[in-house]
Amino acid sequence: MNDQHWNDLLAALRGERKKPLPVGFIIDCPWLPNWYGVSILEYFQSDEVWFEANKKAIETFSEAMFLPGFWSEFGMCTEPSAFGCKCQFPENEFPFAEKMIGEEDVDALEVPNVATDGLLPFMLNRLTRNRARIEAMGHRIRFSVSRGPLNIASFLMGTTEFLMMLGTDPERTHRLLRTVNRFLMDWHARQRQAIDSIDGMLVLDDIVGFVSEKDYKEFAEPYLKELFAAPVAVKLFHNDADCRQSVKHYPDLGINLYNPGIQMSIADLQNATGHKLTILGNVPPRDVLAAGTPDEVRAAVRKLLAEADPARLIVSCGGGMPPGVATANLRAFIEAVGA
């Protein structure tokens, strides 16, 4: 992210109105490799392919901010690999971490070493190796990134198994979440220590949208609040599952930017959060941005702009950039915001 986009982001978080409104997208392996013309596996394997794919996106859509920007990642395998999950990497499908523990194994689970374990050193070294090239483009590495505590717990145990334990064994559930959150706080601190330009964090946790309001308050909020206490200026939370049962509590987490799904309208999201959060969203990603025509994309953007409080909005899709979004549709999106 360059300085202009970073300053625009900070202004949006302060509630300042800009014309045209800022446009931003979360981009990673579901969209970027195939858009660039390579397989997902090749994107993960090669520093050069990874760098050039991100560079092309930035240069092709220079009006848009990409979050977190030059995201070094191995899909959903990044954090679970540090605990020892077996990770699968098909040629051109999303990677997947196999579950590795049952309820009876929670007590013995140890906090990983974020300097050495799993794919973490490879992820961080990619950024440090390429930092000079990124900065030569006028960009900086601004964000530490991770999945959230419930998301990682669900990969370690399996989603069904984790949610069943949450309902039947709250003490052990808290024990697991404390272990995972200790790891996450260490991991974000490690990223900040390695790269001194980081002044933001992105945490992604869709499992938060799978639980009731009561369970959110007990099992999600304390750990997310602890995680988002980090000393950074931008605190971005992504949950594109249904947030209706929990979104009104998100301002209490300390976050200042939220990337939702499409279950609620932009107006309802802003009202539910008391206009305290800037929303990064939320044109339908699959059915409009990926599958629609450029005219349908423009119409969806116009509808969003007509409903939203422009002081608390970075125009985006609901969730991250989905697979299959064409250049023409992204161009139509950006032009509609600026019209």
Dump the DSSP string for 97-152: EPP---GGGGGG-----TTTSTTHHHHHHHHHHHHHHHHHTTB---EEEEE-HHHH
**pLDDT score recorded for residue 288:** 98
CA torsion angle for 65, 71, 76, 80 (degrees, to 10)? -140
Ramachandran angles phi, psi of 280, nearest 5°: -100, 95
**Strands in 38-101 per DSSP E:** 65-67, 87-88, 96-97
**pLDDT score recorded for residue 303:** 97
Q: Any idea what DSSP says for residue 207?
A: G
Strand partners of residue 147: 204
Strand partners of residue 173: none
Rounded Cα distance between 121 and 105, Å, is 26
Pairing relation of β-strands 278-283 and 257-260? parallel
Angle, CA of 56, 69 and 283, to the nearest 5°? 90
Q: Please list the ranges in the chain whose pLDDT falls under 50.
A: none
Residues 6 or more apart whose CB falls under 8 angstroms from that of 163 comprise 154, 207, 210, 211
Rounded Cα distance between 26 and 241, Å, is 16
**pLDDT score recorded for residue 339:** 74
CA torsion angle for 24, 281, 259, 117 (degrees, to 10)? -40
Query: Which domains, ranges and CATH numbers included, belong to the chain?
Result: 3-338 (3.20.20.210)
Count of other CB atoms within 10 angstroms of residue 207: 23
Count the helix, strand and coil residues of the chain and give each as a percent rounded to the nearest 5: 55, 15, 35
pTM of the predicted structure, to 2 decimals: 0.97
**pLDDT score recorded for residue 18:** 87
Interval 285-300: pLDDT, tens: 999 999 999 999 999 9
**pLDDT score recorded for residue 166:** 98
Q: What amino acid occupies position 116?
A: T
**pLDDT score recorded for residue 190:** 98
**The sheet that has 278-283: what strands, in order across it?**
143-147, 200-204, 234-239, 257-260, 278-283, 313-317
Rounded Cα distance between 266 and 247, Å, is 12
State how far the alpha carbon of 64 is from the alpha carbons of 45, 61, 115, 159, 163, in Å.
27, 6, 33, 34, 37
Interval 1-35: pLDDT, tens: 999 999 999 999 999 988 899 999 999 999 999 99
Q: Which of 310, 323, 112 is nearest to 337 (CA)?
A: 310
Q: Which of 259, 260, 269 is nearest to 307 (CA)?
A: 269
Q: Which of 157, 266, 164, 259 is nearest to 215 (CA)?
A: 164
* Cβ(234)–Cβ(254) below 8 Å: no
